[in-house]
Amino acid sequence: MDWTDLTIVISPADLPSAEAIAGMCISRGLYIEDYSNLEEDLELFGPVEVIDEELLNKDRNIAKIHVYVSPEENPSEYAQFISERLKAEGIPFEFESDQVKEEDWANNWKKYFKPVNIGKMLRLVPTWEEADDKVSPEGIEADLEGRKRLVIDPGMAFGSGQHETTRLCMELLEDYVDKRTEMLDVGTGSGILGIAGLLLGAGNVTGVDIDALSVKIAGENAKLNGVGDRFKLICGDLAEDVQGRFSVICANIVADIIIRLLPDTGRLLAPSGVIIVSGIIDVRLQDVLFECERCGLEMTRVLREKGWCAAVLRRKGSR
């Protein structure tokens, strides 16, 4: 099937806001080209002998957001929706459009997804790089630095671990997960955060996503990492179908959805538990803080990277 690749061309400085706007259209993530920090990003991978010439020649002064529209949908409706909101935010942009085959856009980003260390305890390895990634003598669960290896194939679900919002969440999980942790991952996508929680020592994780395909992919990724028996998955809207109490609740979504989720956390959060939220562009952090106050929560910690924020929330007065 031929899909429409609707591409928004903007300045890299406007990427966080434009990405949030484009994300309102779809449920399975976006393909983003931003080469403004290419040299810095390449340093994350350590020594690299060969760099694709095409990659090195990419324009550092623009960013592109690809929105893929299925044959059953109308690309002009997407373009109008995004255009109106970009104009309202004062963001200059151009549109490009092309036809692509589903198998092309589902796979063409993989050449840029390489193993990378995250935080102090995790190493993220895509399935197609697993065979070439160095492992310890103890097996595939840890690399030579003693990190837990998280093997991931995001497929068509959001959550490759490349995005700042996901990385910030994984770094925070290191500080709040232990063997007593019962964790809830809302908007689980590829399952990456729930699997990270289990590899970091959590007892059990419940993951929920409104997209049935994401739930399927998350289950497959959990099995890849040997934690499928401790990862319960639910297909549903936010936490409305979830029961129980959790010491860690994680939600890597967007500000508006986090605001809709927070009132539900009262019945789900254990007395001394924490909520880790991410996917918040910096200009929306105050909106989330306002809803925290309304729900009896306080923001005790914030991490920031490239215009994105991740925060730790607690019940007021709890520690």
- Whether 255 maps to a domain, the answer reads yes
The pLDDT score that the predictor gives to residue 54 is 66
Alpha helix ranges (H) inside 94-180: 102-105, 164-176
Residue at which a domain ends, from 84, 108, 132: 108
The pLDDT score that the predictor gives to residue 6 is 85
- d(CA 256, CA 258) in angstroms, rounded, equals 5
Mean pLDDT of 297-307: 91
- d(CA 86, CA 75) in angstroms, rounded, equals 16
- The pTM assigned to this predicted structure is 0.68
* Cα angle for residues 75, 77, 79 (degrees, 5° grid): 70
What is the domain extent for residue 294?
A: 148-315
| Whether the Cβ atoms of residue 310 and residue 302 lie closer than 8 Å to each other | yes
- Res. 112: pLDDT tops 70: no
Rg of the chain, C-alpha, whole Å: 19
The pLDDT score that the predictor gives to residue 63 is 92
Q: Domain check: are 49 and 152 in the same one?
A: no
- Res. 9: pLDDT tops 90: yes
- Whether 200 maps to a domain, the answer reads yes
- Whether 160 maps to a domain, the answer reads yes
- d(CA 49, CA 94) in angstroms, rounded, equals 35
The pLDDT score that the predictor gives to residue 234 is 95
Q: What is the pLDDT of residues 42-73, one digit of tens each?
A: 565 444 444 556 667 778 889 999 888 777 77
Q: Domain check: are 257 and 160 in the same one?
A: yes
- Whether 113 maps to a domain, the answer reads no
Instruction: Please state, rounded to an integer, the average pLDDT across all residues of the chain.
Output: 83
- d(CA 243, CA 48) in angstroms, rounded, equals 47
- Whether 54 maps to a domain, the answer reads yes
Mean pLDDT of 178-186: 95
Mean pLDDT of 300-310: 90
| Whether the Cβ atoms of residue 128 and residue 114 lie closer than 8 Å to each other | no
Q: Domain check: are 96 and 161 in the same one?
A: no
- The lowest-confidence range among 4-18, 123-137, 181-195, 214-228 is 123-137
Residue at which a domain ends, from 53, 82, 108: 108
The pLDDT score that the predictor gives to residue 49 is 45
Q: Name the domain count of the chain.
A: 2
287: domain CATH number is 3.40.50.150
